[in-house]
Amino acid sequence: GGILGVSRRSGLWMDSRGRLEVRRKDSDAESRWVDVEWHQGPGSHGMTLEVSSVQVGMATAGLRIFDRFFYQTAICKSEISFADATRGKLFFRGYDMERLAERSSFLEVAYLLIYGDLPTEREGGEWRRLVMTHTMLHEDILSQMRTFRYDAHPMGTLIASLAAMSAFHPEANPMLQGNMNLYQEDESRRNQEIVRILGKVATIAACAYRVRIGRPFNVPDASGKLDYTENFLMMLDRLSESDYRPDPRLVRILDRIFIALSDDGMNCATSFLRHVASSRVDPYMCVASASGAQYGSRISGVGDAVLRMLEEIGSVDRVESFVDLAKQSKRRLQGFGHINYKAYDPRARVLRNLALELKSITAGDPRLDIALRLEDVVLHDDFFVTRRVFPNVDLFLSVIISMMGFPSDFFSAIITIGRTAGWLAQWRETILDPSNRIHRPRQLYVGHRNRTYQPILERDKAPNPSNEQHRTLHLQARQSMANYRRVMEEL
């Protein structure tokens, strides 16, 4: 059989009958065989070991699976979305995401992700009405948002406000209601929190933007005339107009961006949401936690890095020289490659088309021309072709959002609005899974053992270099101030 996973001292082997052999690599001790269950996944997933079926055998063998970054670990069985890494396709509940982006709307796709099927005309109308009637924020939430500094990052404001909603809705917390199965048993309560969060996240993001630019908040549309994305753009941009309507072409482009970003299988933020949801906390804290992961520089910071790279290149005729530097590891090629996709990222395909569409209705952007040329060079360079390096979602997303007039620090908030639909679907699937238990990863302890406590006077008196340097620098600063005052007094 082939090696499933190997640590320094133990190995996992599978025989032709699907049994697992557990043995010490550095020992002649007899192997032990454990009957296991294997799951044949679709497409690029391949064979997956069902760990729960071998817990007893693994415990007896003193064995744990060590997967440092969870790259080969599946934490759930899901019906929501499937990213086919080798074909470069993304499916939402079995529907091709690219076709949905062409023909559907964000709210319709959100319904599909959360409830499993596209809505009927009646269901879609009621869904839209419910979401749009939950776009208003409590005045105390707005008062809290007004206290943030003008230079507060919109994502920090958004996360804090999402978390604060938990305090404004104690009825949403299963612990405070004395019912750990609150959302499993009460479908109406479950649906109420879904439409609340989806409706309010766009309003929170818009208010965070208005804080950033020092303008008063706009009240969400109450007339029923505006759809979700149109209402969001209105809250961002309306000044004193009584009947402001955003450009419908920009509305449609942003709506399709939300669709492309709404889910992507399992990733850092989504797995964190499921991890937190397993504790049975309320959905506000779950979405706030996922947003915190999304805020990380390895996720949201990539958009800024792409723009800096394009600005460094400066012009289309300098692309080849930059690519040569990237091949020599003297520059980082941002917006290319993906830990999952080993083909052209389907979201990047959607966003590339949207970028070209946006270019036709705006003044364009030289960075888009550079990105398109960079894409062409990389896709036809054997160095990258053999390494299966393709554009990812960030290459064109950052340029599009910039072309639409958003500041770079608002990119992550835009992503969060779209991703909230997928997060709510993941939250719902997690809490409705009857087999779900609290997530409890293990660790491999590599620290000290059996150390003896020493009284403080008997411990090593050698100073901590970092603390000593820190103390000395402050001492020098105080001495300089004292000396300056003494000199001035003598004068």
Enumerate the active-site residues: 338, 394
Which secondary structure element, helix H or strand E, spans residue 91, and what is its range? strand 89-92
CB 141 within 8 A of CB 161: yes
CB 32 within 8 A of CB 61: yes
Does the CA dihedral 459-460-464-468 come out positive or negative?
Answer: positive
CA distance 158 to 291: 8
CA distance 70 to 182: 30
What is the three-class DSSP state of 280? coil
**Among candidates 212, 232, 208, which has minimal Cα distance to 291?**
208
Residue 29's alpha-carbon distances to 66, 90, 269, in angstroms, are: 22, 46, 42
Residues recorded for the chain = 491
CA distance 55 to 51: 6
Which secondary structure element, helix H or strand E, spans residue 483, and what is its range? helix 465-490
